[in-house]
Structure formats: structure tokens, C-alpha cells
Amino acid sequence: DEIKSRFFHLQISLEMESPFKPEILKGKVALLTGGASGIGLEISTQFGKHGASIAIMGRRKTIVDSAVSSLQSLGIPAVGFAGDVRNQKDAKRVVESTIERYGKLDILVNAAAGNFLVSPEDLSPNGFRTVMDIDSVGTFTMCHEALNYLKKGAAGRSSDSGGIILNISATLHYTAAWYQIHVAAAKAAVDAITRNLALEWGTDYDIRVNGIAPGPISDTPGMRKLGPDEIKSKSREVMPLFKLGEKWDIAMAAIYLASDTGKYVNGTTLIVDGGLWLSRPRH
Ligand code: HXC
């Protein structure tokens, strides 16, 4: 049994090794909202392991601090700033603090999100607005405040290319999702922001703007909130790959989009869900 379990761990760690060169993001500076937990923390960690310096923005200082310590313990340059993406002053302060610390900004990842399950009849307009404010307006606000530093030729940046924006979205608005009207509306807006900025800021400033739409990913706040038991039993029947995704899967997609491997990809939201959103029961 012990040998079996050792093999199992070996297999996991082999599977989890990155196929990218460890220096693929060398010298890059990345700022991640929601970067202290869940998918955001995994992207922070993998970006750091691939050479990037990391700045994390999150509402809860203790969680931000512990994420920063865990990155630093891996030898990753990391700094954390408490702030709420709903507050434009926080957004501005955090972007400016990142510049003060590292001298430039290359990659902005918008991973902060709000979520809870509620039927439309029980959802107050303020509850709807709250999730729109975090996911949609928050994403726009961060992009808006970061623009001057992401432009081609901005201070500290090499003059031959602009920066990168990555927006974490979802697939639930491609069809419809029970008890998620606020999140579906908010993520639809995020995808529109991704496309419109890709067009306008790609053209004017050489900034690439893309998104990632994760499916059900194990060990995340989203999965804990959205009923893991149901996903494991019912949804598995219609899940093409018959398994949940891992945070690692999203982080690898993020490295692809944020590095030169994705240099001609602009305005797309990459679905990383094992094919779940388009699946149907066999009969
Ligand atoms: C109904 C709720 C509610 C709930 C909040 N509200 N929680 N309504 N059911 N469970 C309503 C409140 O009643 C209020 O409206 C309004 O929302 C604001 O509530 P506050 O508590 O003041 O807001 P705030 O403290 O700012 O918190 C907002 C929050 C946020 C959205 C609850 O704290 C949050 O979600 N944190 C968790 C982050 C998280 O889980 N991230 C992972 C996301 S996963 P009224 O009218 O009463 O004033 C994800 C996956 C997406 O995004 C897709 C997966 C398929």
C-alpha cells in the first residue's frame, strides 16, 4: 500500500509539472486581483514559478499576507495590497504601489469575483448589483487604472510590446444557469469587456486582452459554494472527461495566454472546462 501510495504521489507530481520553460515569464511583473485564494492564487504561484514577480490585491489582509508568505517561501518575489476592486481609489493605489515596488507592470489578471446561489425572485437588486460591481465594473476599473502602465512604451516596459490583460470568466452565461442570474450577467459583461478592450487597446496600445472560462475546478471557493456533491454525482454523467478540472489547468492556460506562446491571441476567452458546457446526456 505504501509503495502504491508513493507511486500515486509521484504520478500526481509528474502530471503537475509544467510543460513550459521555467523562465518563460522571466522579468515580468504581474498584478492579480483575487490572487490570494483559489484559481487566482494558483495563477500567482505558477506565474512566480515561471519567473514573474507577483503583486496580489485582495480584500482580506490576513489572507493576502498568508498568500504572499507562501509565494515568498517558494522563492518568488511577492507583495500584497489590501483593496477592493469596487473602489476606484483602491484600484489606483494598488496599481501605483505595484509600480513603486517593481518599476513596471506587464500582466494584469482580473480574478476577483463574487458569488452566491440565489433564485431571481429572492435576489435583491442590490445583490445583483454587488456581483456586477465586483466582477464587471471591478474588472473594468482595474483595466482602466492599469492602462497607462500597460501601454507600449510605458515607463519601465520594453518599447517593442504592450502588456497583457487576462480576465477570469465562466461558461454559465453561454446557456443559462440556475440561481446564477447575477453571475451570468456579470460574466457576460466581462467577456464583452475582454473583446472590446482587445479591439481598442490592441489597436492603440499593443495590449493583448484575453479571458479564461474555467469549468468546475476542484478545491476552489466557487466549487465549495456551488454544491460539490451535486457536481460529483449528477453532473459527472454529462461531463465529457468525467472529472473536475484542477487549478493547475487554469494556470497553464494563463501562462499560454500571458507569455509569447499566445502572442497572436487577442480578444478570445479560452474555455477550460473539459467540454462540459456543450455536453448533453447521451439520450
Ligand atoms: C442572497 C445575497 C447573498 C446571498 C449577499 N447578498 N449574499 N443575497 N443570497 N447568499 C446580497 C445582500 O443581501 C445585499 O443586498 C448585497 O448582496 C450585498 O451584500 P453584502 O454582504 O453587503 O456584500 P459584500 O459584503 O460586499 O459581499 C458580497 C459577496 C462577496 C458577493 C457575498 O463577499 C463574495 O461573494 N465573496 C465570496 C467570493 C467568492 O466566493 N469568490 C469565488 C467566486 S466563484 P441587500 O439588498 O440585502 O442590501 C465564481 C465562479 C463563477 O465566481 C461561475 C461558476 C460556474
8: helix, coil or strand?
A: helix
C-alpha 153 – ligand 1 centre gap (Å): 39
List pLDDT tens digits, range 167-180: 999 999 999 999 99
Q: Check pocket membership of 21 for ligand 1, CB cut-off 6 A.
A: no
Contact 189, 247 (CB under 8 A): no
Please report the pLDDT score of residue 8 as a whole number: 46
Q: Check pocket membership of 225 for ligand 1, CB cut-off 6 A.
A: yes
C-alpha 220 – ligand 1 centre gap (Å): 16
For the residues 140-158, what does the mean pLDDT come to? 94
Q: What rounded mean pLDDT belongs to the chain?
A: 91
C-alpha 66 – ligand 1 centre gap (Å): 23
C-alpha 115 – ligand 1 centre gap (Å): 5
Regarding an ipTM greater than 0.90, the answer is yes
Query: What's the first-to-final CA gap in the chain, in angstroms?
Result: 40
Q: Check pocket membership of 228 for ligand 1, CB cut-off 6 A.
A: no
Contact 136, 178 (CB under 8 A): no
Task: Report domain extents, the chain.
Answer: 21-277
Angle at CA of residue 212, ends 10 and 107, nearest 5° = 90
Contact 185, 132 (CB under 8 A): yes
User: What is the C-alpha to C-alpha distance for residues 28 and 84, in angstroms, rounded to an integer?
Assistant: 24
Please report the pLDDT score of residue 238 as a whole number: 59
Is the per-residue pLDDT at 69 higher than 50?
yes
Ligand 1 pocket: which of 41, 116, 271 to mutate (most atoms <8 Å of CB)? 116
Q: Which residues contact 234 (CB under 8 A, 6 or more apart)?
A: none
Is the per-residue pLDDT at 22 higher than 80?
yes
Cell of 1: 500500500
List pLDDT tens digits, range 218-249: 889 888 877 656 665 666 665 666 678 999 99
Q: Which numbered atom of ligand 1 lies nearest the CA of 112?
A: 41
Please provide the CATH number assigned to the domain covering 21-277. Answer: 3.40.50.720
Q: Which residue's CA is the closest to the ligand 1 atom numbered 16?
A: 127
C-alpha 123 – ligand 1 centre gap (Å): 10
pTM (predicted TM-score): 0.93
Q: In terms of pLDDT, which residue wins out, 44 or 16?
A: 44
List pLDDT tens digits, range 102-135: 999 999 999 999 999 999 999 999 999 999 999 9
User: What is the C-alpha to C-alpha distance for residues 131 and 56, in angstroms, rounded to an integer?
Assistant: 20
Is the per-residue pLDDT at 265 higher than 80?
yes
Give the pairing type, strands 53-58 and 269-272. unpaired
